[in-house]
Structure 1
Amino acid sequence: MSERVGPWALSLILLLGIHSAQTVFKVTGPEAPVIAMIGGEAVLECQLIPDKPTADMELQWVRSDLSQHILIHKYIFGQDVEEQQAEAYRGRTEFFKDEFNQGNVSLKVKHVRLEDEGDYLCMVEQNSIIEQVAMKLKTASFGHRPVLRLDGYHSEGIGLQCDSSSWYPAPRVHWSSRNGKDMTEKATTKTVQGTHGLYSVSSTIEVTSDSINIFKCLVNSTILKRTQESSLQIPDEFFPRMSKLFTAFILFLFLFVGIMGAAAFYQYRKRENMEELRKRPTTEEYMSVLNRQEKLKLDVDNAASNLGLEKHLSMTAAERVISAAAPVTFDSETANPYLTVSEDRLTVMFNGDWQELQPNPKRFISRLFVMAEEGYETGSQYWEVLVGNKPDWDLGLVKESISKEDWIMLTPDNGYWTIGKRGNSYEANTAIPEPISCKLNTQRIGVYLNYEEGMVGFYNADDMVPIYSFTTTFTEKVYPFFSPWGSQEEMKIAPL
């Protein structure tokens, strides 16, 4: 005997079917704070995974650390919605709209201000489903080189004063001598925040003579991990050597000698005339001067010869780099599902479609990255990459243990030693991207690794002119690293 299905059961089945048909998505972003220079640009990175944005999706960026959330930028796919945007951010924010199809919903903040520092939310809504990721923006200002000057005589030595301005957040001041001795405990430091929010520091210290008399004032930005420094050498004669009692005794002695000198003035004049005669050069001294002139001429000739030798050695160094050439191929098992690796494993490109691949712990998920199959833990290796006219790319070296699923910033602290191109500019991927000098539209980049010396060097492979280098200490296996970004142009490994 069959059982009848009630109306409530049919309704439940219908609701479950509707829920399962809804699109499932998520957004990811960096866990570490984003650091931006005041007056520069900040990129708040946010990635939609795995699907491309659809027309019914709504994207919002909000500031979440104030008394109430304020809207920074709103976008309903098809157009920006500017009516509700906070006035403080108007005209200073934009999306990477040409990369929406890659799931890139990051926000660029231009002309960064001190008050932009805070907490932000990237929110994506579709069919009443909201996914969001939080991140923190920290602003920074790298202050002026400190001005170091004498501050008069003190009880036991000489006072020094070190002044520097335009820092944010407040920096740390360190004092040291030439031999590396830390003198900071003896210093008195005052930090003042100005009307624009930037900090000025003034530090004073009393120093006494040592064997070198070179003193350094170092002002350090803890957030940027960079330092401005100045040094001052004080002649040994400047330091006080005598107590007040001994000074009084010397003055008395000088007075006594003056009286005695007046009595012997005539004899003194005679001795002075004799000394003048003895100062005239002898034949031997004249010949010594001529010999020194000949030696100086010889030194000039040797310097010119050494300059030519240095140019030859420079070319020899380039040949030594090239001699370390090693075969390199892309590892398709590490390639992000948006990337396609050729059958010969020498070409990779962005294909625009997410590939449904078997789960693999070696594969990059959140970012458009791929590693080489070859890894190194000893010796020297050199390889070249054809970047052609690609508008954006990154390449270099990565350690074996990095996370493949998380959104990781490309910095040496995170195990990436890389450089990249952004439009018409090149930069080293450090905590704060560092602009580097490179010929526009460089077609071929050479990468050189010396594992034992901890050196990663980048070259314009057409003329072997150095571009940039990192120094570190490797503790594990490392692999060549590549990111073609979202442009359709190919990135190739050049056979050597």
Structure 2
Amino acid sequence: MFQILTMLLLEMQLYVVSALFTVEVPQQLYVIEYGSNVTMECRFPVNGSLNLGLLTVVWEQKRKDQLKPKEVYTLRKGRALPPSQHHDYTGRAALLHSELKMGRAILQITSVKIRDAGSYLCLIDYQGVDYKYITLEVKASYQRIKTQVMKKTGEDKFVFMCQSEGFPLAEVFWQNEKNSNLSGSVNTTYTLTTDGLYNVTSILTLKPNMSENYSCVFWNKELNEETSAHISTLGLYQLEFVQDRE
């Protein structure tokens, strides 16, 4: 009878300890620029000096388009388990061990890629078990827009081209100096790069006004972000005029 009572009391104590053990996250959503670094954090109670040999930390990533989660970083009983780490995170994901003694399990990912976006599980086993989820979103602004303009051979029309890479997929609009949308012949296409970026190319063909400048506008609806580039035909007109005089 005494042994049964002791076991019941022990189970009750373990339940209370586990119930008091709670993992918290100071930030649930991170929006990070492609190619930059990110540190995501979850916190756990230490209650005195940390006994590293009792600590297990598991970080996993889950995306809607993958069947099973990717192991980002695992510390089991105070020891890192690099062989179990998914190859997508090899050399890029690390746990900041110096912060563990303060109850901070901080995951650092360098050179963030589009495929790093998703839901991250932070599980802590230390005198109790608990976990939380953190969401990582990755954006890539269409900041660098390459432009080109050429005159169609034997015609009085010009071909304008704008090309840029980013994420998510952007729409492209063409405008003149009066900010009026142009109704000329526009052809916008895109391909996916190996890094998961959208390579967007937009071509406008029309007979321009000699004195006007034209703009291509990349509109990223999901990020509510707009970037643009300006193109002028004046240089080509001047070159054509010089060639005609010669």
TM (normalized to structure 1)? 0.39
1:191 alignment partner in structure 2? 190
**Higher mean displacement: 13-22 or 99-108:** 13-22
TM (normalized to structure 2)? 0.72
Tell me the CA shift for residue 49 of structure 1. 4.7
Tell me the CA shift for residue 229 of structure 1. 2.7
1:61 alignment partner in structure 2? 59
1:378 alignment partner in structure 2? none
- Please give the secondary structure, in 2, of the residue aligned with 1:46: strand
Tell me the CA shift for residue 117 of structure 1. 3.3
Contact 2:119 2:133 in 1 (8 A): no
1:47 alignment partner in structure 2? 42
1:32 alignment partner in structure 2? 29
Closer/same/farther in 2, CA of residues 59 and 151 from structure 1, 3 Å limit:
farther
Q: Distance in 1 between matches of 2:183 and 2:225?
A: 18
> Is 1:172 paired with 2:171?
yes
1:17 alignment partner in structure 2? 13
1:89 alignment partner in structure 2? 89
Structure 1 segments unaligned to the other structure (5+ residues) = 239-496
- Please give the secondary structure, in 2, of the residue aligned with 1:112: coil
Closer/same/farther in 2, CA of residues 54 and 151 from structure 1, 3 Å limit:
farther
Question: In the alignment, residue 161 of structure 2 is paired with which amino acid?
Answer: C
Q: What is the Cα-based RMSD across aligned positions, in Å?
A: 3.8
Tell me the CA shift for residue 60 of structure 1. 0.8
Q: Distance in 2 between matches of 1:104 and 1:153?
A: 65
- Please give the secondary structure, in 2, of the residue aligned with 1:15: helix
Contact 2:28 2:133 in 1 (8 A): no
Contact 2:21 2:128 in 1 (8 A): no
- Please give the secondary structure, in 2, of the residue aligned with 1:98: helix
Tell me the CA shift for residue 189 of structure 1. 1.2
Q: Distance in 2 between matches of 1:31 and 1:182?
A: 40
Tell me the CA shift for residue 110 of structure 1. 1.8
Tell me the CA shift for residue 73 of structure 1. 0.8
Question: In the alignment, residue 162 of structure 1 is paired with which amino acid?
Answer: M
Q: Distance in 2 between matches of 1:159 and 1:172?
A: 22
1:147 alignment partner in structure 2? 147
Tell me the CA shift for residue 121 of structure 1. 1.4
Tell me the CA shift for residue 175 of structure 1. 1.4
- Max Rg structure: 1
2:244 alignment partner in structure 1? none
Closer/same/farther in 2, CA of residues 223 and 102 from structure 1, 3 Å limit:
farther
Bigger proportion of residues as strand = 2
Residue correspondence of structure 1 range 107-118 to structure 2 within 5 A: 107-118=107-118
2:132 alignment partner in structure 1? 132
1:103 alignment partner in structure 2? 103
Q: Distance in 1 between matches of 2:72 and 2:178?
A: 51
Contact 1:140 1:224 in 2 (8 A): no
Residue correspondence of structure 1 range 352-431 to structure 2 within 5 A: none
1:464 alignment partner in structure 2? none
Deviations 1:142-197 (A, max 9, x none): 45322131353899x73432231433333321212212223379633111224554
Number of aligned positions between the proteins: 230
Q: Distance in 2 between matches of 1:94 and 1:199?
A: 28
Contact 2:21 2:127 in 1 (8 A): no
- Please give the secondary structure, in 2, of the residue aligned with 1:218: strand
> Is 1:119 paired with 2:116?
no
Closer/same/farther in 2, CA of residues 221 and 104 from structure 1, 3 Å limit:
farther
Contact 2:188 2:200 in 1 (8 A): yes
1:362 alignment partner in structure 2? none
Q: Distance in 2 between matches of 1:199 and 1:96?
A: 33
Tell me the CA shift for residue 50 of structure 1. 5.1
Q: Distance in 2 between matches of 1:20 and 1:198?
A: 49
Identity among equivalent pairs (%): 15
**Higher mean displacement: 166-175 or 178-187:** 178-187
Closer/same/farther in 2, CA of residues 216 and 142 from structure 1, 3 Å limit:
closer
Residue correspondence of structure 1 range 250-399 to structure 2 within 5 A: none
Flag the structure with more relative contact order, 1 or 2, with Cα contacts below 8 A and sequence separation at least 6.
2
Closer/same/farther in 2, CA of residues 195 and 154 from structure 1, 3 Å limit:
farther
Question: In the alignment, residue 61 of structure 1 is paired with which amino acid?
Answer: W
Closer/same/farther in 2, CA of residues 102 and 183 from structure 1, 3 Å limit:
farther
